[in-house]
Chain A
Amino acid sequence: MTVGLILLIVLAIALSGYVLGRRRSLRMVGGDIRKLHSLPGFYGQSVLIFAAVPALLVMLGWMLLQPPLVDRHVARLITEADIAEGSSRDLVMSDVRRIADGLDQMMAAENLSEDALQALDAGDSDIRAKLGNVGIALGSDVRSAVFEAAKVYRDSAATGRTLMTLAVIGLALTGAVFGYLRIAPEYRARNVAETSVKALLILSSFVAVLTTVGIVLSLLFESLHFFRLYPAREFFFNLTWNPQFRGGSDLGIFPLLWGTLYVSFVALVFAVPVGLMAAIYLAEYASKPVRAVAKPLIEILAGIPTIVYGLFALITIGPLLRDYFAQPLGLGASSSSVMTAGLVMGIMLIPFVSSLSDDVINAVPQAVRDGSYGLGATQSETIRQVILPAALPGIVGAILLAASRAIGETMIVVMGAGAAAKLSLNPFEAMTTITVKIVSQLTGDTEFASPETLVAFALGLSLFVVTLGLNVIALYVVRKYREQYE
């Protein structure tokens, strides 16, 4: 039975529980709802909750736990001798899973019965060709043990699915009956229903925490895995990045970090003055109509997806910079460069800097301005010598947030900065960043046991730590600053 169907059945049981429960409560008091503790709807709700919640929780847990358990069970069937030269247990297991998935299609295509399948042996019939016919392409011939394991895998998965169906539907029915029988006029259905709803609310708010935990755990585990294969000292202090798929790679983060910081620096050098001046103008000088037009226009820049900026870098800014700056000046002939990515990223960051700075400048009390004007200062003198110093912590916070955004940005650098890991000062040369390498190491057919792939998790962890640090500092600075005038 498919998951969707089970869900529908549980839902149907729960809904009929609601209707029946509501009706039972009314019948018990002969239609006089004043004798009930709660409104009839709450009695229905309590039955619904007893029917649906435990069943759905069990289903969720089962679906999470079953695949790893089946995997472990099947992996025991595969001995060291079954693992081909140059292969690994993980690869064999992924073959087992794919064969198991393909067996049903193969049975349909070949008109095989269940018994015939069990009798089938990889040794004497060409399983690989048969699986190929139904779209499961395998790299090598299927070994007997692997094929047997696939059969066991398929059987256990099917048994697990049947057991789950029985357990979930049984639990839903039991829950519904239990809830139904509990109904009585003095039963505090409202309290039960509301407590459960509140529990659901709390559970939802924990999703955010669970996400963070998930991010940290997945990054940490895979990074530890990586550091077991590749020394951490090399990763942090080696000055070359040169992955080789035959092993013996140099995987030093330093060139990538340099590229990331260089691109972010160029972006900030462009975005901070422009964004800050735009914010000052909008907050202090602009008339209402100008503000009403210019502010949304600038904010449109924040709503444009980064892939659009990436394409802009690739087809417009890159060639432009190459033809009019890099080549005439003899600085390079590549259209993807630190400058390209930095400039385009700078455009993307303008609205971040400007809207955050706008907020902090507006938060400076009018009395401070009036005091300065009263002493004879001009408007720009007031801004430079009174308002900006007062708003400085907030502006610093805004810049830090923009920096964290720049460091974590992916698409612009993937399409605009290049792929060569280099340590160079020339901004017209192609360089690469941490995010670019995460993408390039993890896309395509990857094998999860090699350090060349796992390094992406270590890079991700570094990225996460750096951006998180910047954010925490920025939020702290901004919050401290806000308190100043509240």
Chain B
Amino acid sequence: MSMPQTTGPQTGHRASKSLLEVDAGTRRRNRAEARFRSYGIAAIGVAVLALVLLVTSVLSNGLGAFRQTFVIMDITLAADTLDPSGTGDVDAMKRVSTIGYGKLLKTALIADLESRGIPTEGMSEKEIAGLLSKEAPAQLRNMVLADPSLIGQTIRFKTYATGRVDGYFKGRVSMESAERDSNVTPAQLELADRMRAKGLMSVGFNWGFLFGPDASELRPEAAGLGIAILGSAYMMILVLVLALPIGVAASIYLEEFAPQNRWTDLIEVNIANLAAVPSIVFGILGLALFINFMGLPQSAPVVGALVLTLMTLPTIIIATRASLKSVPPSIRSAALGVGASKMQTVFHHVLPLAMPGILTGTIIGLAQALGETAPLLLIGMVAFVRDFPSAPPEGFMDPAAALPVQVYNWTQRADPAFVERASGAIIVLLAFLLTMNIVAIVLRRRFERRW
């Protein structure tokens, strides 16, 4: 250890110098001090900067997903094409495929453009129809099949514009990029501009993004988070139902009853290690145990929930034990003193007092579980799911997606519009996490007791 040489009897002329005058050595040491301090500030700056960069990157990429370009057109649902048998029988009408509806949409859009005086010279019919999402015919077909009385009427139909046009209004697609793009032409974008000016196209909040199902690779504009949010909600419910009782019971045993012996040590070491096992290993466990061995269905929320429960347990146990430990022994002594049994002491007195801490820990554990992706990939939740799972309890066995996995899924698709969707999904995920953490903080602030 080398101490800086600032003092020492060997420097002879030292006595003649004032203490207030700063010599070279002291200056060097002060500079080192300032330098060291600035490193600290820089480190904090780097960390905060990274956070800011992360948040702005997600927000700037993802906010667009909540707004969407819609085409609002008048369409006459001609009875002779949609209901060729003329009986109004839904089964017969199902024979008309989306291709038939596509043709209807095309003629309706062209007629609409004409009646509003929007010029389309030089464009083929196919190009004009290409402004509509590929989802539009299916949307119209579902609408008609759900309500056959619409046939023969002229209705105002609102549907998605194609992803490229939507990207054009959000600045993702430009005239130059359209030149090179086989999916859109500059003429189409100009037409979109004219349609927007005449009110045939508009940009508005997209509820379909929050509540609709996922859509295939070719129709990013129709892709929604509905199934993913529902799947995540199912999993969180199951995780709560499974992990909270098991975690609390385990903690009560370890904290209040367990004798100091080898078994207890083994359990404690196990919990500490489980908390640090990589999440993907839990995914492998889920695949081998729940799917291959027990034969539970792939992509089902129940399997995801089981895996996430095992992952969340250590968090809940650690929080619960800390919270039980903070209840002062005088409470226990008082209860035991008036004749309560050990079990009554714990369940009637200690546990209620520890509850705020337990709930806080549980919510934080759930928040972790909500954002977990890797184990869910392995148990098949990456599958493309288009049908909403049914209501619980059967719904727990139906295939579903999960929020973070949906994000991953979208990043694997080619169309750049899915990047916007993925960032939008991240915003939804972060909003849920923020809410959960705020609830946890409020709980802690309001109910935490200091003894």
Contact = CB atoms under 8 A, between A and B. Distances in A.
Nearest to B419: A315
A442 B285 contact: no
Interface residues of A, number: 96
Interface string B366-377: 010011111001
B373 A211 contact: no
A207 B250 contact: yes
B85 interface: no
A245 B189 CA distance: 45
Interface string A368-404: 0000000111111101110000000000000001001
A190 B51 contact: no
Given A307-B408, A435-B278, A312 B58 contact: yes
B210 interface: no
Contacts of B39: 277, 281
B295 interface: yes
Interface stretch (A25-33, A212-220, A249-257): A212-220
B36 A383 contact: yes
Contact of A306 (B7, B29, B271, B371): B371
Contact of A410 (B43, B48, B278): B278
Contacts of A298: 44, 47-48, 51
Contacts of B145: none
A474 to B, nearest CB: 8
A446 B343 CA distance: 50
Contact of B1 (A207, A385, A460, A475): A385
B252 interface: yes
B47 A194 contact: no
Nearest to A471: B276
Given A301-B51, A411-B408, A439-B378, A379 B289 contact: no
A208 interface: yes
A186 B267 CA distance: 38
Contacts of B15: none
Interface in B304-321: 310, 313-314, 317
A221 B293 CA distance: 12
Contact of A411 (B245, B374, B433): B374
B335 interface: no
Contacts of A457: 284, 288
Majority secondary structure of chain A interface residues (helix, strand, loop or mixed): helix
A214 B306 CA distance: 13
Contact of A471 (B35, B273, B407): B273
A102 B47 CA distance: 55
B414 interface: no
A215 B278 contact: no
B246 A204 contact: yes
Interface in B251-289: 252-254, 257-258, 266-267, 270-274, 276-285, 287-289
B197 interface: no
Interface residues of B, number: 92
A311 B284 contact: no
Contact of A350 (B47, B273, B284): B47
B142 to A, nearest CB: 19
A312 B377 contact: no
Given A383-B36, A435-B278, A205 B249 contact: yes
B377 A439 contact: yes
Interface string A232-269: 00000000000000000000000000000000000000
Interface stretch (A140-148, A168-176, A195-203, A423-431): A195-203
Contact of A460 (B36, B266, B284, B367): B284
Contacts of B36: 380, 383-384
Contact of A206 (B48, B252, B267, B437): B267
A150 interface: no
A159 to B, nearest CB: 17
Nearest to B53: A316
B57 A315 contact: yes
A278 interface: yes
Contacts of A306: 371, 373-374
B29 A378 contact: yes
A208 B250 contact: yes
Contacts of A314: 411
Interface of B: 1, 3-4, 6-7, 29-30, 32-33, 35-37, 39-44, 46-48, 50-51, 53-54, 57-58, 61, 245-247, 249-250, 252-254, 257-258, 266-267, 270-274, 276-285, 287-289, 292-295, 310, 313-314, 317, 341-343, 367, 370-374, 377-378, 380, 382, 393, 404, 407-408, 411, 419, 422-423, 426, 429-430, 433, 437
Given A350-B47, A435-B374, 18 more contacts: A198-B253, A205-B249, A208-B271, A208-B274, A212-B273, A215-B284, A273-B43, A294-B44, A307-B429, A311-B411, A405-B276, A411-B374, A438-B378, A443-B382, A457-B288, A460-B280, A467-B276, A467-B277
18 contacts: A198-B257, A204-B247, A205-B250, A208-B271, A215-B284, A277-B39, A282-B44, A294-B44, A298-B44, A308-B430, A312-B54, A314-B411, A375-B3, A408-B277, A408-B281, A410-B278, A456-B284, A467-B277
